[in-house]
Structure 1
Amino acid sequence: MLSRRALLATAAATAAALPTAAGTAAARSAPRALAAALPVALANNSGGSAPVYAYISGADTSGWPGFVTADGAFHRLPSPSSVLTPIPDYAIPLGASGSAPTRLTLRDYVIGGRVWFSAGRKIQFFVNPPGGNGGVPGLVQPGFTGTDPNWTTSWTFCEFTYNSANLYANISYVDMVALPVSMATTGAAGNQSVPALPSGALASIASGLRDQHAADGAPWDQLVATDAAGTVLRVLAPSHTPVDFGAYWRPYLDRVWDYYRTHTLTVDGQGSIGAYSGTVSGDVLTFAGLNTNGVPFTKPSAADIFGCASGPLYNSGADARSAVAARLAAALNRSSLLVSGGASQPSGVTPAQYYTESVTNHYARLVHRYASIGYAFPYDDVGPTGSAPVDGHLQDPAPASWTVTLGPGGGGTTPPGGGGTSAYSTVQAEDHSAQSGTQTEACSDTGGGRDVGYLAAGDWLKYASLDFGPAAPAQFLARVASGVGAGVSGAIRVRVDSVTGPQIAEIDLGDTGGWQSWRTVPANVTRAVTGVHDVYLTFEESTVEFVNVNWFTFTR
């Protein structure tokens, strides 16, 4: 089953292309493709010696499920009469790690699709009879229990929809963390990429969950799936585990409900929804003026919180109640309702305050610590207006190519048609190829990880071989924080080819409220740059340390 965010994106994409930060005015006005013809490259950059297989599944425009074969054609699944039936072998074998990608051209639109990879052995897929499914058979995908025939197979996937409106592709950790996948596209929206899970992140997340179990006794360790040798195959999201978290959330919920008996909670539905304020009466959190459609906001269960879609957190996605439920679900997963500013959701809380309670969604906490981007629960995009994006998606109204890689590639090596890392990917500051005078430190921004700090005049960071493609960027964006104090500022200057090379952008920055108080600051690109260049961030005009940098990117 697709994650809720991908389902919403798929439904919207079917009607029309959705605008994104990467979609410039030129992209939005680009002509729609008249027929399906998308070049796809499937690459093996796993670093291992095991054979790797790829699969492309989804539904055609009529909703009938099927698979794409190596010739790019979509094949409808058979419709069995009465029993669960294995499907034909639609595996697309890939070459050895580091070899040339396997290329095909999608000749049919695919809705609600997935690109799967498996290492070592093939995935077993099955088809169910139509039953009450409107006469359409059901594809049975790998599951999340030890009885599934694919349990000891190492597999992973990304999600996508390709139709006449656009290509929308997404890497998400809502279901699980497994083998790393990266993606890149070229097209009307420019060169885009999403990075793979960093090396070692899966093992670190698994280790963190085992440590958390040792600390609180909750079954976090049982989210870790291993093979017979003890190798970690995947880490399941708590919404998918067969393990019951029982009353895990009860102490936190009791504190929240008691607090809001005498305090007011305001939830901003954002957009045109408006804000609603409420208090707890009896055992119900009631918001004045909000029609709850017969589903009151009582204390949710663990399954309700982790899944964000049942009980009092039921969410149809179409009304004010659903908007409030989504923001409550996000606040509960992050345990942010009792922190300073928590009475105003989501704008009153910063990402540095997420997951600070002992009772929280520790799976999401660890995913954001070790993954640079990607949802960890269905409404992980909820946040203050203008906050840094956490989703890992690509979208293009007229895609020219799509590369999907097992391992790093889409967000860290060579994108299609390029000679280096895409300048339009999210470049982590600590991933510099050279530096002078800088240090890294633990970062409390969304996604965690490390930032580069202690930056003052004379310091610099080098990022080798950033690929700007054939068209120049319009803006440079940097995620920065400063606790330098009033009246002090400095300059971040972006240069190409050398520390003293041509300047293409500049950010002049003062205090942002703290060394971990993060802001995304844009700057216009003042000098056209195309092709592949080394990019330098130089820090100037301040005799004291004035800024920390988490990440940067360019946009057209």
Structure 2
Amino acid sequence: MLSRRAFLAAGGTAAAAALTAPAWLPGLAATASAAASLPVTLQNNSGSTAPVYAYISGADSTGWPGFVAADGFFQRLSNPSAPVTPVPDHAIALGGSGTSTTVTLSDYVIGGRVWFSVGQKIQFFVNPGTVPGLVQPGFTSSDPNWLTDWTFCEFTWNSTNLYANISYVDLVASPVSMQTTGSSGTQSVSPLPAGALASIASGLVAQHASDGAPWDTLVATDSSGAVLRVMSPVHSTTDFGGYWDPYLDQVWSRFAGTPLTVDTQSSGVFSGTVSGGVLTFSGLNDDGVAFTRPSASDIFSCNSGPLYNSGGDARGAVAARLGAALNRSTLLLAGGENQPGGVTSAQYYTNAVTNHYARLVHQYANVGYAFPYDDVGPTGSAPVDGHLQDYAPTSWTISLGSGVTGAGGGGGGGGTTVSAYSTIQAASYSAQSGTGTESCADTGGGLDVGWISSGDWLKYGRVDFGSASPVQVLARLASGAAAGVSGAVQFRLDSTTGPLLAAIDIANTGGWQSWETVPMNLGGTATGVHDLFVTFSSGSTSDFVNVHWFSFSAT
């Protein structure tokens, strides 16, 4: 996640008077190749009979805010004479559930969002200023969009690339999924699983009943009691007060006698101790903002009080890692004195005092940030964000509801299938657990799936094996695992524990980009259409394999 300051340094311009800040997205520095024409397909897979609307908001290359119209051209907002002036209607009406509407973007858009609303339109407003400020839907019951079912994804598209992501930093709402095609191959991000929003909401209500903190106030419902969205605690209208005090008492006590070491992973390693109520890191310039005890709002936002983040300097990197450790409550654990590599992700959120919103989001969602520096982790750890990036995109599809449908979608919903006998890119999964994607140096390029360790898995929806079972699967694999580390790559039907079709043990192949085509004979049979799972098992907790593609064969 890029800070607002870093975004501006990369060439973006903020809407100075905005009441709700736009998304500051990464992906602004890469080899320039994206052309100023991009087909964007908006899919209504909501399952609702109510009307569905889409909006594409953002800023042009000068930083002036506006909306993309249905013809694909960017419409700059007029600078109003009075605050909170209604914006002209830029809704793109979608067809019924199961239909698609394509808008070809003819202008670049930075700091953008693609919005969907069900049942009624979103009301946008604009404030006057040197640059007018777009007022987006807010997080209080006084907002005119409070009872509207709305959701969004974020993106930046400029001359260098398309970068789009699904983030839960602000809220969790109706599910959105995405797919891109282009120079990086086919990439996809799966939607929030069915029932996840309700599960997160009920989990927050239960957490309030357990500890008395106002987690339940983060749940927004309509007049019938149906959950519309769950807000991050950074947007809570109820003060969390001294919620973190018992935990901070212990943290400040521990590091009065034990050094806290923070590896910034970019600007060096710093060790600090608490003295006089202040956590001081030797050799670190604190820019005049000392690391005193943070408040609840400081911790949830990761960017106020002592956790103020100034962007790309060393203090900002330390603040980001402190903010992540506090939200995950890892500082009191064995190894917690070494951040962020001293603990594993399995140990996050295990203290009674923690960011329970983030805990529940990661329990029920496939991918997506749950707080601003949720990407902080040990070097080489899998990212948690649900992003797509392509330096020369040829298409971008965004679906409301179930996963993207259509050729190569693999997202569930509709009747779309993918042939088991085609070359299935590993990065085209419809769901995954524990893995990450990276640029691939293998023949054909695109992305491979890496950061794979025991217990991780990949899902490919609606794979068609035909009327006769294949006899073999070929998988393109690479490994830079340490000596003595190996594991099994397994192909299963319908679930992570379903019937085993084929398996192979893999060890070091000479490097993480040293690729081999590995054949596996099928020990089981598969006909018809199934969800296909690739599961990974090892006697070690270390990463052991990368996967580029696989394909089944009848011979």
Which category describes the TM-score, using the shorter chain as reference length?
A: 0.7 to 0.9
Using the alignment, how far apart are the partners of 1:55 and 1:287 within structure 2? Answer: 46
Task: Give the superposition deviation at 1:527.
Answer: 5.9
Which of the numbers 440, 462, 465 marks the counterpart of 2:463? 465
Q: Distance in 1 between matches of 2:127 and 2:367?
A: 35
Of 191, 197, 207 in structure 2, the residue corresponding to residue 196 of structure 1 is: 191
Q: Secondary structure at the match of 2:506?
A: strand
Task: For residue 318 of structure 1, report the CA deviation from its aligned partner.
Answer: 2.0
Q: Secondary structure at the match of 2:255?
A: helix
| Offset at residue 477 of structure 1 (A) | 8.7
CA shift, 1:463, in A, is: 6.5
Does the alignment pair 1:328 with 2:322?
yes
Structure 1 residues 555 and 289: CA distance shift in structure 2, 3 A: same
Match of 1:119 in 2: 118
Query: In structure 2, do the counterparts of structure 1 residues 185 and 173 end up closer, same or farther at CA, with 3 Å as the change threshold?
Result: same
CA distance in 1, matches of 2:536, 2:344: 26
Asked if structure 1 preserves the Cα contact closer than 8 Å seen for 2:308 and 2:319, the reply is yes
1:84, CA displacement in angstroms? 2.2
> Does the CA contact (< 8 Å) of 2:66 and 2:74 recur in 1?
yes
Cα distance, 1:47 vs. partner?
A: 1.7
Task: Give matches, 1:4-15, under 5 Å.
Answer: 12=10
Alignment correspondent of 2:156: 161
Structure 1 residues 237 and 550: CA distance shift in structure 2, 3 A? farther
1:526 alignment partner, SS class:
strand
Deviation readout 1:59-111 (Å, 9 max, x if unpaired): 11111111011110110111111232111111001111112x10111000011
Partner of 2:59: 59
Which residue number corresponds to residue 136 of structure 2? 141
Which residue in the other structure is 1:312 paired with? 306
Relative distance call for 1:371 and 1:76 in structure 2 (3 A) is same
Name 2:102's counterpart in structure 1. Answer: 103
**From 331, 339, 353, the counterpart of 1:345:** 339
Inter-partner Cα distance in structure 2 for 1:200 and 1:538: 24
User: In the alignment, is the contact (CA less than 8 A) between 2:172 and 2:229 conserved in 1?
Assistant: yes
| 1-structure distance, mates of 2:313, 2:400 | 39
1:185 counterpart = 2:151: no
Shift in Å at residue 410 of structure 1?
3.9
Partner Cα distance (1:107, 1:423) in 2:
31
Does residue 1:524 correspond to 2:524, yes or no?
no
* Alignment partner, residue 288 of structure 1: 282
Q: In the alignment, is the contact (CA less than 8 A) between 2:261 and 2:339 conserved in 1?
A: yes
- 8 A contact 1:56–1:67 mirrored in 2: yes
Task: Normalising by structure 2, report the TM-score.
Answer: 0.78
Identical aligned residues as a percent: 60
Establish whether residue 424 from structure 1 lines up as the match of residue 419 from structure 2: no
1: CA distance, partners of 2:533 / 2:217 = 45
Deviations 1:211-230 (A, max 9, x none): 00000000000000001110
TM-score (norm 1): 0.78
Q: 1:12 to 1:121 in 2, by over 3 A?
A: same
Partner letter of residue 84 of structure 2? L
Secondary structure at 1:387's aligned position in 2?
A: coil
In structure 1, the gaps of 5 or more residues are 431-449, 454-459, 481-485, 510-520
| Shift of residue 13, structure 1, vs aligned partner | 8.4
Shift of 1:156: 0.5
Contact 1:403 1:410 in 2 (8 A): yes
Give the AA of the match of 2:131.
Answer: V
Q: Cα deviations across residues 373-408 of structure 1 (Å, max 9, x unaligned)?
A: 000000000000111110111111100000011022
Q: Distance in 1 between matches of 2:366 and 2:236?
A: 24
Tell me, in whole angstroms, the C-alpha distance in 1 between the residues paired with 2:248 and 2:163.
37
Q: Amino acid of the residue matched to residue 89 of structure 1?
A: D
The correspondence of residues 351-500 of structure 1 with structure 2, limited to 5 A, is 351-410=345-404, 414-415=408-409, 419-420=417-418, 423-426=426-429, 428=431, 464-465=462-463, 475=477, 491-492=488-489
Do the aligned residues in 1 keep the contact of 2:43 with 2:399 (CA within 8 Å)? yes
Equivalent residue for 1:232? Answer: 227
Unaligned runs of 5+ in 2: 14-24, 419-423, 434-453, 466-473, 494-498, 521-528, 550-555
Native 8 Å contact 1:167 1:398 kept in 2: yes
Q: Which residue of 2 aligns with 1:32?
A: 33
Q: Distance in 1 between matches of 2:223 and 2:322?
A: 40
Matched residue SS, 1:424: helix
Query: Following the alignment from structure 1 to structure 2, what is the Cα–Cα distance between the partners of residues 334 and 157?
Result: 26
Counterpart CA distance in 2 for 1:200 and 1:286 is: 45
Structure 2 residue aligned with 1:446 = none
Shift in alpha-carbon separation, 1:188–1:160, aligned structure 2, 3 A: same
CA contact (8 A) 1:65 1:77 kept: yes
Equivalent AA in structure 1 for residue 36 of structure 2? A
CA contact (8 A) 2:260 2:338 kept: yes
1:474 shift after superposition: 5.6
CA offsets per residue over residues 202-249 of structure 1, 9 Å max, x none? 000000000000000000000000011101000000001111101100
Residues 411 and 425 of structure 1 are in contact (CA less than 8 Å); yes or no, is this contact kept in structure 2? no
1:436 aligned partner: none
Question: What one-letter code is carried by the residue in structure 1 that aligns with 2:77?
Answer: L
Distance 1:138 1:223 in 2: 26
Q: Deviations over 1:285-324 (max 9, x none)?
A: 1111111111110000000000000000000112111110
Deviations 1:5-58 (A, max 9, x none): 68857865879x9889xx9xxxx77x613x410011000111222211000000
Superposed displacement of residue 372, structure 1? 1.0
**SS of the residue 1:113 aligns to:** strand
- Contact 2:58-2:66 within 8 A present in 1 as well: yes
| CA distance in 2: counterparts of 1:129 and 1:235, whole angstroms | 31
1:451 and 1:49 map into 2 onto residues whose CA distance is 40
Relative distance call for 1:362 and 1:4 in structure 2 (3 A) is farther
Q: What is the letter of the counterpart of residue 402 of structure 2?
A: P
Q: Tell me how far 1:552 sits from its aligned partner.
A: 9.6
Distance 1:48 1:276, change over 3 A: same
> 1:239 aligns to what SS in structure 2?
helix
Offset, 1:325: 0.5
Give, in whole Å, the separation in 2 of the partners of 1:495 and 1:9: 43
Deviation at 1:491, TM superposition (A): 3.3
What's the counterpart of residue 279 of structure 1?
A: 273
